[in-house]
Homo-oligomer: A and B are copies of this chain.
Amino acid sequence: MSLIVHKYGGTSMGSTERIQNVARRVAKWHRAGHQMVVVPSAMSGETNRLLGLAREITDNPDPRELDQIAATGEQVSVGLLALALQKQGVKARSYTGWQVPVRTNSAYTKARIESIDDARVREDLGNGYVVIITGFQGIDGAGSITTLGRGGSDTSAVAVAAALKAEECLIYTDVDGVYTTDPRIEPDARRLAKITFEEMLEMASLGSKVLQIRSVEFAGKYKVKTRVLSSLTDPDIDLQEEAQSGTLITYEEDDTMEQAVISGIAFNRDEAKITIAGVPDKPGVAYRILGPVAQANVDVDMIIQNASHDGMTDFSFTVHRNELQKALDVLQAKVQPEINAREISGDNQICKVSVVGIGMRSHVGIASQMFETLAAEGINIQMISTSEIKISVVIADKYMELAVRALHKAFGLS
């Protein structure tokens, strides 16, 4: 008998009929002798409906009140799932984040979990209950409700699994695992049986939107075995088969890890590139450029500073496409008078493509193989950025599918 955490996304909870399917699946695990904790999301569309009501009133809502409103979606879900489990003849009890409690800081709409009290949950589990806990939310030191941001239920589930030292955290979703790249771009994309947290972090942050990135950090930090698997299978499917399906995200490179050098190809077409050409190359120039951008709450992703020529350098970075104009406005108004650059330009016709793989650490030549592959397709590389386990390039948007497919083939992922 082991303690298992299940997490179900909004699509799985999308109707009372689907909620009853979730209950059948959970009941199956419970009857097999596992102690079960379930963390469901709000019914699909519900969080958007709630935030839409707030937006009908104001464009600039108080984040505390926004969380007060948004947290109700999951509260409805946990109650309904408890009823559905009880109907299956399973003892079940639901808790909100504040009832557990899941303690967070006070950063409303994007709070971070600080601690989870496991006493109440353990007592119920000991008494044979399935415990259902709202995802996405907690309570701050002042007793106000907080939410963890979009996709926060993934983080809730992993954090609960960490607090309870669960055997495994199963994230049920509408995809059946993590793929070498997006199957809509490359039909030969293959599901990975295992992936390390580090690779998953790079894949997730680069646009393979399977899990909230913070949940992966959490899983890595607290060594929670986390599995992404499909909620669309028959709920009465054989438990052993289900338990081996999907993709396991592990915190160690064990012997059974696939020996591929590259795990996958990630991509992101939500970014735009800003280039500041002809900047005097003096100490502090990066800060003088990016300080005002950060103050305007514009997130910056890749940052490249080219070698200096004649005391002048070119400085490039990427931002979210929606924030390109805002960033350019800040640069023109606040930065240009200070640094007197030759030119400031923006380009939103770009994309980022990355190869990710923990095997890269011990293999030379991955970068050159990547650049060679792109060159053979006639694709010009505009920016390059590397980490220990990934290489990212910025290329013209229109080449994205071509680049992904070529790299997927070149690295033997098909």
Beyond A56-B16, A57-B16, A72-B76, whether A82 also contacts B65 by CB under 8 A is: yes
Q: Are A54 and B80 in contact (CB under 8 A)?
A: yes
A373 close to B (CB within 8 Å):
no
- Quick check: which of A83-91, A166-174, A273-281, A350-358 contacts chain B, the rest being far away? A83-91
A143 close to B (CB within 8 Å):
yes
Beyond A62-B86, A99-B143, A99-B144, whether A68 also contacts B57 by CB under 8 A is: no
A178 close to B (CB within 8 Å):
no
Q: Are A83 and B58 in contact (CB under 8 A)?
A: yes
Q: Are B50 and A62 in contact (CB under 8 A)?
A: no
Taking the full assembly, how many copies of this chain does it contain? 2
| Residues 32-75 (chain A) with a chain B CB within 8 angstroms | 50, 53-54, 56-58, 61-62, 64-66, 68-69, 71-72, 75
Report A11 CB to chain B, min CB distance, Å: 17
A75 and B87 alpha carbons, distance in the complex (Å): 27
Across the interface, which residues of B come within 8 angstroms of A211, CB to CB? none
A320 and B143 alpha carbons, distance in the complex (Å): 43
Q: Are B53 and A16 in contact (CB under 8 A)?
A: yes
Beyond A98-B98, A143-B99, whether A57 also contacts B72 by CB under 8 A is: no
| Residue in B65, B86, B87 whose CB lies within 8 Å of A79 | B65
Since A64-B93, A68-B96 are in contact, a sample of 13 more A-B pairs with Cβ atoms closer than 8 Å, ordered by chain A residue number, is A16-B53, A16-B57, A53-B76, A57-B80, A58-B83, A62-B82, A62-B83, A62-B86, A69-B76, A69-B79, A69-B80, A71-B75, A99-B144
19 A-B interface contacts by CB (under 8 A) = A16-B53, A16-B57, A20-B57, A53-B76, A53-B80, A54-B79, A54-B80, A54-B83, A57-B83, A58-B86, A61-B83, A62-B83, A64-B93, A65-B86, A66-B79, A68-B79, A69-B80, A75-B75, A96-B145
